[in-house]
Structure 1
């Protein structure tokens, strides 16, 4: 009876729930988002290293680096790698979209970048405004030391003629505002990348291109092929910019950030968001669908900006929840919800190596041990298997949810600090990744989550082991009686 219920549930999920989800995941925009974001990963990871070097979590070393001036050099490298991740995203998404349609893709990626820049105001607020007053940053030197306080700046500026004061406090124009090239521009970059990819391929399919004779070299002909689609997209981008500027004295990136990205980031950073992500990853895997791939594609556009915001707070020495640090970031997803693999299966690994009596569990445990250290658990998912296995479904679903819940709470209530923005690769072993993304307290908490996994999986694995052992003994007895 129980097996019939499980079969009915599995059939319902397989026939009613998974098909529309897989249809959505396999759409051109989602595939472009998923594969296009990959192009940003090297810059995020390498940039994270520069972030740590400029903010070494050892006060004496950090002070020495800052005094030497090298912190400014590391910050420069961080800003132009991790700090402009929206640039890599918009280029990568449009590139992949057009590549998947079988066309020359690089011109589309460059067109998306040009469109992304056209849609934003080429100005930044005057640095003098932020430096003035009691709450101002003051004026700092290359080493980051304050050489004139905010109050002193205000007092001296007030002595200048009004016309000169107005000139000094006016926005700086004719420059690219890197604020919108980082995390704050991510959702806009995703939208622009997808729309440019769609528009570019649609025009090429409709024959909107300049075709040159066969004698013209391919590299030259390809640029003429791109000319009409690129030109149309850039003209449309200019008109959209003009509309936002003229009607609301704003731009598309600021509008998207306020209306769309901020609410979505808040949702992704909530306790409910953490629990939903923690549940859905193993849920999809249980039915044989790559849960990490699905949830990664859906959440990366929001969790990576959360990581970026925390990195900036960490760089400024203000990484606290009170200052706006996020609890749920891309590293929360990679290094807690998916720690040791989807379902946080390290507890199952430990049982198979220490207490398993069945040949099946002992054998697969040895195979999984090394991959599990690097957060890879496909040997368990398909070899044990965990997929459609009712004996292990409860711990497989429950462990990531409990880890997500407890990790959210210990960060939210200040027991351990928020994640610092370092983008540890998802294959980084536990404990090591914890230290990189949050220091020794985070490493210690990761060790505790591993123990949680052992405690949750143990009784279920023990029962499953008994079932397998009984089956093996029965099979041996049958063979002996032949």
Structure 2
């Protein structure tokens, strides 16, 4: 095990660290973090309109006269998921430009203009998310390079107001970047592609989401995060851009399907992981905390860390446990820390694909405690039952390893005496 850890620290960790710090991934990650409250509010609005509670729906119909009250949820959705791609195309360019030390607002506006020049009016929702990400990165890179070329910068005479000089200085770079995307749209239209975003969604985004919705992809996501965390890197932050690219369109498609009275098409998404796999944080460490309370009382050190971690663990925050117990670089905890998420993914996927538990259609905040989060995410008590079963499974798996860790610590203390 020590040889493996040493090899990983020498060859894997440096590469993973570079990927995690890569400016484009960081810009995408930070942008989605900003939009997280919007996505949560949007799904809650959709949940309000589709609660499977007849008494509630009848009460609201009587109170507001018909189903006019559902306009509230529709408008909330329109103001969140309905414009998600527009927000992302601005934010990614903004954060990326700032990473270069450039004006983020100007880059964001140019990216926004480029997106609409390409036909963004037809894909403002999560449906246009992949195109929005491509446009934001490409337009920002073009804008930064052109605006850094002094031959393309308009020199204004002295005495002009600073705001006017600054805005006109980038006239040619802005013209070139937005003109490029307008040209792409015009050429595409000449060849019969009048809706670039819709065509891209059907040819690329839908097949990609279908692949990401498979059981093997869910296992891969569940494996990567704890595996990277074991070596001290922020696993969630490393894969967040990929997860979010899958998440928002999948949630939107699920909600639309449920509204149409159909089955939700996408089982795997971010709430699938947050509400049923990461119970207490990466590695389902709430199960570990409970296991320590059950069989780790002989270790004062374990109990002290456990008591400090319990409060935050209920809200799925587990850094104190990862570094305090520790789990990071702890060979005894490596196996359950990697194994538990894979087992929980398997149980959850089978429960949902069989129809025993509804698929996720709501994205509760990731800090919502386990079990309650499962109920909210699926709009079903069965979601809470599944989360409770998963928590029990995690406790059972962690117990023998906690016993081994306590025994090892006791031997270490005895030998030192």
- TM-score normalised over the length of structure 2: 0.93
Please give the secondary structure, in 2, of the residue aligned with 1:181.
Answer: coil
Point out the more displaced range, 326-335 or 46-55: 46-55
Structure with max Cα Rg: 1
Offset at 1:407? 0.5
Partner of 1:41: 36
Deviations 1:240-286 (Å, cap 9, x if unpaired)?
Answer: 00111111333331332233212211111000000001111111011
Partner of 1:91: 90
Corresponding position: 1:427 with 2:367: yes
Corresponding position: 1:69 with 2:68: yes
Partner of 1:469: 410
Deviations 1:434-468 (Å, cap 9, x if unpaired)?
Answer: 11111211111111111111011001111101211
User: Residue 373 and residue 215 in structure 1: after superposition, are their counterparts in 2 closer, same or farther (change >3 A)?
Assistant: farther
Matches within 5 A, 1:291-330: 291-318=235-262, 320-321=263-264, 325-330=265-270
Partner of 1:276: 220
Partner of 2:341: 400
Cα RMSD after superposing both structures? 1.9
Q: Which runs of 5+ in 2 are unaligned?
A: none
Point out the more displaced range, 235-244 or 192-201: 192-201
Partner of 1:169: none
Moved over 6 A (4+): none
Offset at 1:300? 1.3
Please give the secondary structure, in 2, of the residue aligned with 1:19.
Answer: helix
Offset at 1:187? 0.7
Deviations 1:392-432 (Å, cap 9, x if unpaired)?
Answer: 11110000000011101110110111111x22111111122
Partner of 1:79: 78
CA distance in 2, matches of 1:375, 1:447: 15
Matches within 5 A, 1:445-460: 445-460=386-401
Offset at 1:217? 4.3
- TM-score normalised over the length of structure 1: 0.81
**Contact kept in structure 2, 1:108 and 1:230, CA below 8 Å:** no
Partner of 2:279: 339
Deviations 1:78-137 (Å, cap 9, x if unpaired)?
Answer: 12212221111111111111122122211221221221122128xxxxxxxxxxxxxxxx
Point out the more displaced range, 59-68 or 199-208: 59-68
**Contact kept in structure 2, 1:358 and 1:472, CA below 8 Å:** no
CA distance in 2, matches of 1:220, 1:284: 49
**Contact kept in structure 1, 2:312 and 2:318, CA below 8 Å:** yes
Matches within 5 A, 1:50-65: 50-65=45-60
Q: 2:318 aligns with which of 361, 367, 377?
A: 377
Please give the secondary structure, in 1, of the residue aligned with 2:337.
Answer: helix
Deviations 1:29-67 (Å, cap 9, x if unpaired)?
Answer: 211111122232222122222212222331221244352
